[in-house]
Amino acid sequence: MNNYVIWKTALKSILKNKKRSFLTMFGIIIGIASVITIVSIGNGFKRDMIDKMSMVNTNENVSNITFNYYDVSNALTESDVFKKSDLDLIKNLKGIRKVDFYKPKQKLTERQVELNLRGKKLTKKIERVEQTSEPLLVGRQIDPNDNETLNKVVVIDEILAQKLYDDPEKAVGKGFEVMNELFTVVGVIASSNGTLSMENQAALAYFPIKSYDHYFNKAESQSILNIETEVGENQEEILKEVLKQLNFNGSMRNVGEYETYNPKSDIEQMGSILDNLTLFISAVAGISLFIAGVGVMNMMYISVSERTKEIGIRRALGATEKDIRKQFLTEGLTLTLLGGLIGYLLGMILGLLASIFLPFSVRPDLFTIGLAVGISVLIGVVFSYMPASAASKKDLIDIMK
């Protein structure tokens, strides 16, 4: 029997008992959908967390120096930790290529900020722009001149304007408070969301990039030093010398201790924790897949019992034990692959729907596709093998009796 005939026969057998086949697949669909939803949301959360933690420079030649106070009650403000004298102290040490204060990485446009909405502080999505071009309801757009002159202006979404000022027409010229800074509303754009709860899909407010950065972004943080070493130098030995110099002569040596900080280890540790958490939750959801597998085995045994005469006829016409085993294995595998495909699509739809209400995106990837296919194949082979073997070992003489 060639493979085409085997697959064709398998599909006919599955479609012959549609209700039974669907009920058997249902457990696989639910199990796969649960695992894919959990894994895709977990991966989205992991990407978001690592992205936020990666704000510290992770260049392999760049290390960070932080400061640990002996007494936390003596802690000063961040800007008081490192002084220019500390940079001067270590910048000429052997193997040091560059020393500067830590400069945080920022996303170019979108971000979440705290807005003061009628006395309530809520975190919403905003966007930093050179200029706006969205359909305007009232007022004017943000233009390049607003960036050059650092104008404290903002263009807001229609729904947000309705929420704040009752009428979008009345919003222009009103004050708009963001993180204790007052901006002036100069325009209102047509909403693409429909409700304020959909803020994860589009920005609710647009600010001139330079104005926003001027009033809210610190160009550098003096709580961390970036130490870039020359390529090929012994980084560990250089950092030991840096710490030695700072702990003996640093500006804060009397109230604490300087130490190295490796952001890569924190990122890797966080990634490992999230992976293990996702794996554990997926394993719990995977219990339903085991139960579904038992259902597949039960259906295959029933199918073997019902088709005893068919097996006898095939054997009489020259089919080998291998052919019979392959036939029933293919049927089980086809059943689980169909269930896995439907389950994957359902799982991704649930994940994408969940991302509407989550502060991070959920998207399909090769891992989840491979996971769905792999689980489906595993269930199909493991739980169909015994019924397939039982079918192949039926004695032709006993069947004819």
Q: What is the pLDDT of residue 84?
A: 79
Phi, psi dihedrals of residue 6, rounded to the nearest 5°: -60, -50
How many CA atoms are closer than 13 Å to the CA of 266, on its beta-carbon side?
Answer: 15
pLDDT per residue as tens digits for the range 308-331: 787 777 777 777 778 888 888 888
| pLDDT > 70 in the chain, percent | 80
Is 153's pLDDT higher than 90? yes
- The pLDDT, as a whole number, for residue 108 is 41
User: Of residues 341 and 3, which shows the higher confidence score?
Assistant: 341
Q: Which two tokens stand for residue 8?
A: 């064709």
Mean pLDDT, to the nearest integer, of 69-85? 60
Decide if 26 contacts 254 (C-beta within 8 A): no
**3-state SS, residue 95:** coil
Average pLDDT over residues 210-232: 72
Q: What pLDDT score does 80 carry?
A: 57
| Tens-place pLDDT, residues 225-279 | 778 888 878 888 888 888 888 888 888 778 778 888 766 666 777 778 878 887 8
Res. 201: pLDDT tops 60:
no
Q: pLDDT class for 197, splitting at 50, 70, 90? A: very low
Torsional class of 139: left (φ above 0), alpha (ψ -120 to 50), beta (otherwise): left
Phi, psi of 278 (to 5 degrees): -60, -40
Contact at 8 Å (CB) between 56 and 224? yes
pLDDT value at residue 199: 44
Q: Is the pLDDT of residue 98 over 60?
A: yes
Q: What is the pLDDT of residues 333-367, one digit of tens each?
A: 889 999 999 999 998 898 888 888 877 778 777 78
What is the mean predicted confidence (pLDDT) over 196-216? 70
- Confidence bin at 141 (pLDDT 50/70/90): very high
113 vs 379: CA distance, rounded Å: 46
* Alpha-carbon span 346 to 373, nearest angstrom: 14
Domain spans of the chain?
3-51+271-400, 110-216
pLDDT of residue 221 exceeding 80: no
Look at phi and psi of residue 95 and say left if phi exceeds 0, alpha if psi is from -120 to 50, else beta: left
Q: What is the pLDDT, as a whole number, of residue 140?
A: 94
The pLDDT of residue 163 is above 90: no
For residue 118, give the 3-state DSSP assignment: coil
pLDDT beyond 60 at 112: no
Per-position b or e across 365-382, b if 16+ CB within 10 A of its CB: eeebeebbeebbeebbee
Query: What pLDDT, on a 0 to 100 scale, did the predictor assign at position 119?
Result: 55
- Residue 184: the pLDDT is 92
The DSSP letter of residue 360 is: S
Helix extents (H) in 203-320: 209-216, 235-249, 263-285, 287-306, 308-316
3-class secondary-structure state, position 105? coil
Among 240, 220, 238, 243, CA closest to 228: 238
Q: What is the mean pLDDT of residues 114-126?
A: 60
The reported pLDDT for the residue numbered 123 is 59
DSSP string, 249-272: H-TTTTTEEEEEE-HHHHHHHHHH
Q: Please give the pLDDT value at position 107.
A: 45
CA–CA separation, 175 and 182 (whole Å): 6
Query: Which residues does residue 111 pair with via DSSP β-bridges, in sequence order?
Result: 126
Query: Which SS3 state, helix, strand or coil, does residue 93 take?
Result: coil
> Residue with structure tokens 């990039």?
209
Question: Does position 144 have pLDDT exceeding 80, yes or no?
Answer: yes
Does position 224 have pLDDT exceeding 80, yes or no?
Answer: no
Cα dihedral across residues 352, 353, 356, 358: positive or negative: negative
3-class secondary structure, 64: strand
Distance of CA 311 to the CA centre of its chain: 50
Q: Is the dihedral of CA 383, 384, 389, 391 positive or negative?
A: positive
E strand segments, 168-232: 175-178, 181-189, 205-208, 221-229
CA dihedral 379, 382, 384, 390 (to 10 degrees): -170
Tracing tokens 């933690």 back to the chain, one arrives at: 53
Q: Are 388 and 328 in contact (CB under 8 A)?
A: yes
